[in-house]
Amino acid sequence: MRSVASKLLNGVLLVLGVTFISFLLMVWFGPDQTYTLIGKNASPEQIEDVRRQLGYDQPFWQRYGEYLRELATLDLGASNASGESVRALLARTVPVSLLLMIPGFLLGNLLGIALGLTAARHRGRWGDRVVTVLSVTAMSISFLVVIIAFQVLLSTPYGLDLFPVRGWQVDGFVSYLQYVTVPTLALVFVTVGYNTRFYRALFVEEYGKDHIRTARAFGAPERLILWKHVLKNSMVPIVTRIMFSIPLVVISGSLLLESYFGIPGIGQATFEAITSGDQPVLKAVVGLTAVAFVLIQTATELLYRLLDPRVAR
Q: Which residues make up the interface to other proteins (CB under 8 A)?
A: 10, 13-14, 17-18, 21-22, 24-26, 29-31, 136-137, 139-145, 148-149, 151-152, 156, 158, 165, 204-205, 208, 247-248, 251-252, 255-256, 259-260, 270-271, 274-275, 277, 279, 282, 285-286, 289-290, 293-294, 297
For Cα atoms 20, 26, 27, give the angle at the middle one, nearest 5 degrees: 80
Shortest approach of other proteins to residue 14 CB, angstroms? 5
| 17/167 with CB nearer other proteins | 17
The CA distance from 178 to 163, in Å, is 6
The CA distance from 218 to 23, in Å, is 60
Shortest approach of other proteins to residue 77 CB, angstroms? 16
| 143/176 with CB nearer other proteins | 143
Provide φ and ψ at 142, rounded to 5°: -70, 145
| 10/46 with CB nearer other proteins | 10
> What are the DSSP calls for 74-85, one per residue?
T---B-TTT--B
Shortest approach of other proteins to residue 109 CB, angstroms? 18
| 143/304 with CB nearer other proteins | 143
| 229/283 with CB nearer other proteins | 283
Shortest approach of other proteins to residue 136 CB, angstroms? 5
Shortest approach of other proteins to residue 162 CB, angstroms? 16
| 88/145 with CB nearer other proteins | 145
Q: 177, 153, 180: which is closest to 166 by C-alpha?
A: 180
Cα–Cα distance list, 180 to 12, 227, 271 (Å): 37, 32, 20
Shortest approach of other proteins to residue 29 CB, angstroms? 4
Q: Count CA atoms within 13 Å of residue 251 on its CB side.
A: 16
SS3 28: helix
The CA distance from 236 to 304, in Å, is 8
